[in-house]
Each structure stands twice: as C-alpha cells, then as structure tokens.
Amino acid sequence: MIAEFFVLFDQLSAGTIVEDGIYKLRSPHPNTSRQEETAMIENCKRRFAFNLFLAALAIVISGIGCKKGEDTPQTKPPITIDNLQVAYGAAMKRVDWYQKYARKAEREGLRNVAQLLRAIVRSEEIHAANHAKFLKDRGFEPRAPQIDSIPIGSTRQHLKSALSTESIEFESMYPNLIRTAEFEQIAEVVDQFKQCRDVDMRHAELLKDAIDRNANIPRVTYFMCPACGYLMTSEKTEECPVCHMTRSKFEKIS
C-alpha cells in the first residue's frame, strides 16, 4: 500500500519543483505566453487533483484488501459438540464396564443378571453410535475415551455401581447437556439427549429391580429399540415409548 501511494505521489508532483519542502509549479519558459502559462497552471491543477484522487482510491482499495487478507479466527464449534464427545465417551465406558460386570455375573452363576447387563451394553452401544454419527456428519471425529480401570467386586456390588452411574446420567448429566443444546438451538441433539436420558432411566429401573431381588431375577427376553436403545420386556409392546419406533423393528435379546 505504501509503495503504491508513493508511485502515485511521484506522478502527482510531476510539473512541480520542491522548494523549502513545498511543492511549487515549475517556472514557465521565458518565451511562454500569458495564455499558455494560464493553461499550464490549469492543467497542473487538474493533474494534481486527479492524481490525488487516485492516491486516495489506492489507499482505500489497499485497506480493503488488507482486511480481506487478514487471518480471521475460525468459528468455534458449539459447546454441544464437546458435550456430544462427553456423551459418546460415557457410553463407550459403560459398554466396557458392563461387559466386565456381565462376565463376572456369569462366573458367579447369575446368568439372568449377565443377560440384563448385556442388554444394557447393547443399549449403550446404540447411544454411542448415535452420538458418533452426529459428530461425523458435521466433520468431527469421535474421541475414543480413556477407559478407567474399575475394581471387580461381587455382582451385587456391580449392580449398585451401575445403578449409581445410570442415575447420575439421567438426573444430572443429560439434563445439563439438554439445556446447553436448547440454548444453542440444536434441536436434533436436544431430542437425542432427551432420548438417552429416558433410556438411562429405564436402565436404572431394571437395575434397581435386580438389586431389590438380590440379583435373583427371572429369565426374560428383552426387546430393544434399535433407534434409541430403549429396553422392553413385554412382547405386547407395539411401539417404543421413547421414539415410537414400531415393534417390527425391535431387536430381540435373549
């Protein structure tokens, strides 16, 4: 920008001389007539004005170019994107933990509890897949969580631990994620988080029932909604109570 200005400024000063730091018209040739001298002055004035306009225009255009060329900070992703990563990581951790709990229940001869835990594992896999899909569709790669090591105790202890985990998710975690998604007006994620909250509430109901029965629960067939992961135990349920998917699409877990 500065170089362009001085080039134009040099053009602007053509036909002038510098005297004591001031631009003045060159003295006309001695043989120049009064009329020619007047014409020369007017010509210099017009040239001066035109070049001054060009200089100003160059400065304006250059300024616009600088603004366009400036590095602009990238738009920060919505907080909900981070929250989806959190929810994805939480679901993947539950999958890992509950699989370990199910193997322990099998070793203790509590096969019906193992079956329940595997049904919840399948449900959590649906949650993780839904969160991952939303992230990938918007150009974000789901972050694999660091799976915390957990102490392996008795199956009855595991049931209480799982109930506590599911209760935290539907009572605290998902309500907070929902509020943020609502504030950011991401309706699709609001619905997704609400479904996960309701499904986790169902997990808690099933786990509490197993605890109340001292882990001696009957053998049942679970029907899972493949869209939201909701678990049902009745063959008469015609549609998912959370997302309303029809019974014909349910996944049977026995």
Fold of the CATH domain 79-219: Ferritin (1.20.1260)
What does pLDDT average to in each consecutive run of 10 residues of the chain (254 residues)?
41 45 46 56 54 47 45 68 97 96 97 98 98 96 89 93 97 97 97 98 98 97 98 94 96 92
Output phi, psi for 18, to 5 deg. Answer: -100, 125
pLDDT given for residue 31 in this prediction: 54
Question: Are 210 and 217 in contact, with CB atoms under 8 Å apart?
Answer: yes
pLDDT given for residue 34 in this prediction: 57
pLDDT given for residue 150 in this prediction: 80
CA distance 121 to 123: 5
| Strand blocks (E) in the chain | 16-19, 22-25, 222-224, 231-232, 251-253
DSSP 3-state helix, strand, coil percentages of the chain (rounded to 5)? 65, 5, 30
pLDDT given for residue 39 in this prediction: 57
pLDDT given for residue 75 in this prediction: 63
The domain limits of the chain are 2-69, 79-219
The whole-model pTM stands at 0.70
The sign of the dihedral angle between the CA atoms of 144, 149, 152, 153 is: negative
pLDDT given for residue 148 in this prediction: 81
